[in-house]
Amino acid sequence: MVIKRSIMNYIDTMVFEHANIRRMLKVVREFCYRLYNREDVDFSDLEQMIDFIRNYADKHHHGKEELKLFNKMVERLGPAAQKLVTNGMLVEYDMGRFYMQQLQEAVKDYQGGNNEAVLDIIANAISYTHLLERHIQKENDIVYPFAEKNFKKEISDEIQKDCDEFEVKAQEQGFQDKYLSMLENLENKYQGGNPLLDLL
């Protein structure tokens, strides 16, 4: 099978995915704001948000970074890259997964009748949004430019080929369409709820 080259290079694709993830983080914040205000909220929406985070943000995007980009940085770009990846990016991935695990447990407790668990829902969800916002900024401003500047062309071409194949396989399964449609639907439901959130 012939793999078509992506319209965007692999860095542009990852930055595009970051933008989509940040859109979902705003939705999560708005859900939490409504929950905090004791408004009626649909927890099936929160389940979709968690699904998006676990699969689009973590499995698809972070998985691609780990397997296709970060491994090459550690192998090829020396101690500085190893420290940046191992002690920075990968640690933050683990923190994000911990917040998601705790969030899911809190939702289960809340739906089981423990009203105090609402605190843990909001705390873990908002902690995740803070973590990911900072994480994305570091990758966009530091990690990606470092990789682009220091990789030799043949290594960049190899990463591009791997990422193209990864994206094509996901597209064949309808992955991107599914999660971007989910994102759009949730934005339509939650956008504009509190304009002050954009200032936070």
Rounded to the nearest 5°, which phi and psi values hold at 42? -100, 110
Torsion angle, alpha carbons of 10, 11, 13, 14, to 10: 120
Res 162: pLDDT: 93
121-153 pLDDT, tens digit per residue, is: 999 999 999 999 999 999 999 999 999 999 999
25-80 pLDDT, tens digit per residue, is: 999 999 999 999 999 999 999 999 999 999 999 999 998 999 899 999 999 999 99
Alpha carbon of residue 113 to chain centroid = 30
Full domain range(s) for residue 71: 10-192
In-domain check, residue 175 = yes
The answer to whether the CB of 63 falls within 8 A of the CB of 167 is no
Q: What is the CATH number of the domain that holds 125?
A: 1.20.120.520
Taking the complete model, does pTM exceed 0.85, yes or no? yes
In-domain check, residue 1 = no
pLDDT band at 8 (very low <50, low <70, confident <90, very high): confident
Angle at alpha carbon of residue 198, lines to 145 and 89, rounded to 5°: 30
Rounded to the nearest 5°, which phi and psi values hold at 13? -65, -45
As for how many domains the chain has, the answer is 1
In-domain check, residue 5 = no
